[in-house]
Structures are given as C-alpha cells and as structure tokens.
Amino acid sequence: KGAFNRALGRDLNTPVDLAEMREPAGTPDLDFLSQVALQRRSELVQLHCEAMSYQNQASSIRSSYLPQLNLLGASTYEENRYQVNPQITSLSVNCQWDFFDSGRRSFQAMNLEDQAVAAERERADKQSVISLQVYKAWLDLKSRREQVVVAQSALKASDENVRVTRARYNQGTGTNTEVLDAETLREQAYRNYFASVYSSLVSYMALQRAAGVL
C-alpha cells in the first residue's frame, strides 16, 4: 500500500481500497480495433501532418513563380497651415514577377515534395507495424483468456480434491499429510488462477493501448 501511494505521489499512510478489475464481456472485434488504431495512433497523425506541411510549403514556393500583385491604399491626415488639404488619400498598385531565379525555388519545392513523399512512405510502413501490433495483442489476449478457462477448471478440480481428501480423513481412511498436500495444491491452483486473470487484464489493456484507445 505504501508503494502504491508513493507511485501516486500521495502520503504513504493514505488508506488504499482497490476495486477488483473485471474485463468487459465478449471478444474484441479485431477489424474494428485495427481501424480505430489507424485513425487514432498519434504516430500516424503526426506523420500525416508532416507530409501535409511539406506539401503546403512546396505549393507556397511554387506559387511565387506567378505574378504578385499588391494593392495598397492609405489616407494620411496632417495639420499643416501651408498645406491646402490636410488629408491626403493615396492608392498604389505594385506588380512583381520573378519568373527566373536559376532554379533555386524549384529545387526547394522539389526537396519539400520529396520529404512529403518520404513522410507518407514512413506512415504507410507505420500503418503495417501498428496493424501487426494490434493483431499480436489480440492473439495474446485470446491466449490469456484460454489460460483463465484452464485455470478455472484446475480450481474446481482442486476444490473437489480437498473435499474428497477431507472426507477420507474424517472417515479414518486418509492421513493429515494427504489433507495438507491437497490444501497446498489448491493454494497453488488459486495462485495460478489469479495470475492468469490479471495477465488477461494486462493483455486487454495492452490491446486497448495498441488500438490507440488508451
């Protein structure tokens, strides 16, 4: 309990009352989780934004080849007795067309476009990696849940073994050593059961993390 409070940055003597965790019923849909992962995983979003940024920068550079037209209007008021009209309004039009720069801007635009393509390729590769992560996490959860079922069967068998052994001991046909051995086996069966349950919970959380939900 002290270690738990320390991990949360709380006073070590703070009362701790943990609720038993339970997995949601039903088997998670692999296809749905894979689609969710491809939409939510931050790595994919970041790479997509990088590619779009490079494309926009390249488009901005290429647009500088087009004629640039600037329209400027201004109104100036000045108190000057030697000036007939204290307010002067002006309008100017400026046109600039830099159609040749030895290919410098073209090279910059091509470089940015290459970076955008590289980001998209990395994103496509990351998509396959993430899909594999989700699939492996889903298989791991399935395996862990099967282990829980096996542990439950062993638990029932150990309880029955203890019951039978105690009955034989009470009837004088068994020994106390057999009872102690049966209790030891049941204790181990319970340990295995809870270990399998919590492993299954961890696998479920890992699947949610792989899907980008957590």
| Tens digits of residue pLDDT in 96-144 | 777 666 677 788 888 888 999 999 999 999 999 999 999 999 999 999 9
- Residue from 85, 61, 84 nearest 75 by CA: 85
Can you list the residues of the chain whose pLDDT is less than 50?
A: none
> What per-residue confidence (pLDDT) applies to 67?
75
pTM: 0.66
Distances (CA, A) of 34 to 47, 173, 198: 18, 59, 24
> What per-residue confidence (pLDDT) applies to 139?
94
> What per-residue confidence (pLDDT) applies to 109?
85
> What per-residue confidence (pLDDT) applies to 65?
73
- What end-to-end distance do the CA atoms of the chain give, in Å? 25
> What per-residue confidence (pLDDT) applies to 138?
94
> What per-residue confidence (pLDDT) applies to 92?
86
> What per-residue confidence (pLDDT) applies to 20?
80
> What per-residue confidence (pLDDT) applies to 22?
79
User: The tokens 């039978």 sit on which residue?
Assistant: 164
> What per-residue confidence (pLDDT) applies to 107?
82
Which tokens sit at 101?
Answer: 């720069």
- Residue from 160, 164, 165 nearest 179 by CA: 165
Interacting residues of 1 by C-beta distance below 8 A, sequence separation 6+? 16
Residue 166's CB is within 10 A of a number of other CB atoms, namely 15
Per-residue burial over 124-152, b = 16 or more CB atoms within 10 Å of its CB, e = otherwise: eebbeebbebbeebbebbeebbebbeebe
CA distance linking residue 148 with residue 141, whole number of Å: 11
CA distance linking residue 51 with residue 150, whole number of Å: 49
Length of the chain: 214
> What per-residue confidence (pLDDT) applies to 101?
65
> What per-residue confidence (pLDDT) applies to 79?
78
Backbone angles phi, psi at 48, to 5 degrees: -65, -40
CA distance linking residue 42 with residue 211, whole number of Å: 11
Which tokens sit at 2?
Answer: 């002290």
